[in-house]
Amino acid sequence: MRLMSSGPALPPEILTVDQMAAADRFAIRSGTPGIVLMENAGRAVAEAVHTRCPSGTVAVLAGPGNNGGDGFVAARHLARHGRDVRLALFGASEALAGDAAMAAARWTGGICPWDPALIDGAAVVVDAVFGAGLSRPLPAGVLAMFDAARDLPCIAVDLPSGIDGDTGVAFPGVLSARATVTFHRLKPAHVLFPGRALSGEIVLADIGIPGGAASGTALLNGPGLWQEQVRQPDWHSHKYRRGHVVVVGGPPERAGAARLAAHAALRAGAGLVTLAVPSDALAAYVGDPKALMVAPAAEPEDLEALIAGSKVRAAVLGPGNGVGPATRLRVAVAAEAGLRLVLDADALSSFAGDVDALAALVGGAEEAVLTPHDGEFRRLFPDIEGDRLTRARAAAERTGAVVVSKGPDTVVATRDGDAIVNANAPAQLATAGSGDVLAGIIGGLLAAGMEPFAAAASGVWLHGAAASEYGAGLIADDLLCGLSSALRSAQS
């Protein structure tokens, strides 16, 4: 997803449909007439159309509400700039009310019949039918019009019609947009899939709503949320002050997963990282980077002794560990020692069907981060459904941990409902070992002193930034090389 903003910086707040409506009402009560907001919105849509499709006939598809009113305004501004504009209204013009009726009255170009023939010869389509105002399947007449327009570039107003603004769920027949012009703040559907994929480039326009008009439901992840907690070494630093992380390893044939996590923890800022591995696997874990320590301490009693005697601050468990009672015991040892925890992969699947036992171990101190991908999430929480934002919040509330629900639209949530949505992760992260690297990054940040929610949010962003730096051909090992650049970017 590419994001643009007409203001000086993209605001992090994400508003639900109802919260955005409240922001509109606040602006109107504060003295900005609704028709002024609509004029500003329509003008921004016209600019987006003209910038991306500077010539040819524009087919504007207007709906019966305020989204359609924005379309009438956009049509008027495009016509003033010499564009050939055809506008069709889904519904009767006499049924328009309020600001939408006023905007329609200002349009003097005529209203064409709602007929797919409108699309013939057009160069670009403006979808101003429903935007975020529809949370049910599209009517047959709209589907027919959209089918006729599928080969043309589309500029959507607020959201492509047929996407639920609060969840990103798309009903059949949505017209995919080249760009979507939205206003004041992003909505969940702009950052959650599949809505995010169908919205194309997102242009966020300032239409005159005050900044504090409504509180958001979540935040868009970015360095401004957590960069002050990224601790840089100073002259007083030493390896233990920077934090010691233990990464638990498994059998030799799975050594790569824990080694990736351990290396990532070092790169992310831990001062010392020890791999606790089975005695018969030592040879598989020794190698580059030479700064990694390796200890024969994968048995629960050996792990307990290592933690007690070496100033360990954080532990990463799961990558390559194996699923079963032994991994559960290691999680219990680390949790009962009071360590900050990152639980990934096998450490999560080992509690499948018994999430209450996991919650009992990690929920009290609020110092644990769980990092499930969708399969692990389903095994742990088979009864939790909904969009990723809803699921992550419910899982965090149930376990008391910070939950990182991994995917193309990764969400980080706390038990209190605080949440961020990440939008910088490229598709190249869908490769073996990338999750192990993320677990290690978060572990290193926890050891260095970041709070769990901030460590998880920053880890996810750094992970995406490192992947974007490398680009095509990425494998998990490449993320380790990109972390330094990502850390510098976060501080700039």
Cis peptide before 188 (omega within 30 of 0): no
Instruction: Kindly state the helix (H) or strand (E) to which residue 79 belongs, with its residue range.
Output: helix 66-80
- 200 and 258 within one domain: no
Average pLDDT for 118-131: 98
Q: How confident is the model at residue 135 (pLDDT cuts 50, 70, 90)?
A: confident
Whether 378 has a pLDDT exceeding 80, the answer reads yes
Q: Is 62 helix (H, G, I), strand (E, B) or coil?
A: strand
Backbone angles phi, psi at 439, to 5 degrees: -60, -40
> Do 134 and 232 belong together in one domain?
no
- Per-residue pLDDT for 6 more than 60? no
Examine the domain organization and report whether 188 and 58 are in the same domain: yes
Do residue 210 and residue 309 come from a single domain? no
229/213 same-domain check: no
Q: Alpha-carbon distance 88 to 147, whole Å?
A: 15
- Residues 305 and 388 occupy one common structural domain: yes
**Which CATH number do you get for residue 461?**
3.40.1190.20
pLDDT band, very low/low/confident/very high, at 213 (cuts 50, 70, 90): confident
Two tokens, residue 340: 């900050």
Give how far the C-alpha of residue 29 lies from the chain's centroid of Cα atoms, to the nearest Å.
Answer: 33
Residue 111, pLDDT > 70, answer yes
Q: Residue 131 has what pLDDT?
A: 95
Average pLDDT over residues 467-491: 93
Tell the residue number behind the tokens 């190698």, with chain if given.
287
Residues 184 and 233 reside in one and the same domain: no
Using CA atoms, how far apart are residues 72 and 64, in angstroms rounded to an integer? 11
Q: Which two tokens stand for residue 65?
A: 């509400």
- Give me the CATH number covering residue 145: 3.40.50.10260
pLDDT, tens digit, 9 for 90 and up, residues 399-410? 999 999 999 999
Domain count, the chain: 2
Contacts of 129 (CB under 8 A, 6+ apart): 61, 62, 63, 67, 68, 90, 142, 161
Per-residue pLDDT band at 239 (split at 50, 70, 90): low
- pLDDT in the model for residue 8: 46
Same domain, 197 and 248: no
- Residues 249 and 100 grouped into a single domain: no
Query: Domain ends where: 197, 217, 237?
Result: 217
> How does pLDDT run across 285-300, given as a tens digit for each residue?
999 999 999 999 978 9
Please give the span between the terminal C-alpha atoms of the chain, in angstroms, as a whole number. Answer: 22
135, 13: one domain: yes
**Residue 240's domain spans which residues?**
223-491
Same domain, 379 and 454: yes
Quickly state the pLDDT bin for 237 (edges 50, 70, 90). Answer: low
Question: In this predicted model, what pLDDT tens digit does every residue of 87-105 receive, in sequence order?
Answer: 999 999 999 999 999 999 9
Average pLDDT of span 131-153: 95
Say if residue 194 is in the same domain as residue 95: yes
Of the residues 193, 217, 241, which one is the last residue of a structural domain? 217
How far apart, in whole angstroms, are the C-alpha atoms of residue 361 and residue 400?
Answer: 10
Which pLDDT tens digit goes with each residue over 155-208? 999 999 999 999 999 999 999 999 999 999 999 999 999 999 999 999 999 999
Provide, rounded to the nearest whole percent, the portion of the chain with pLDDT above 70. 95
Domain end point (choices 217, 241, 257): 217
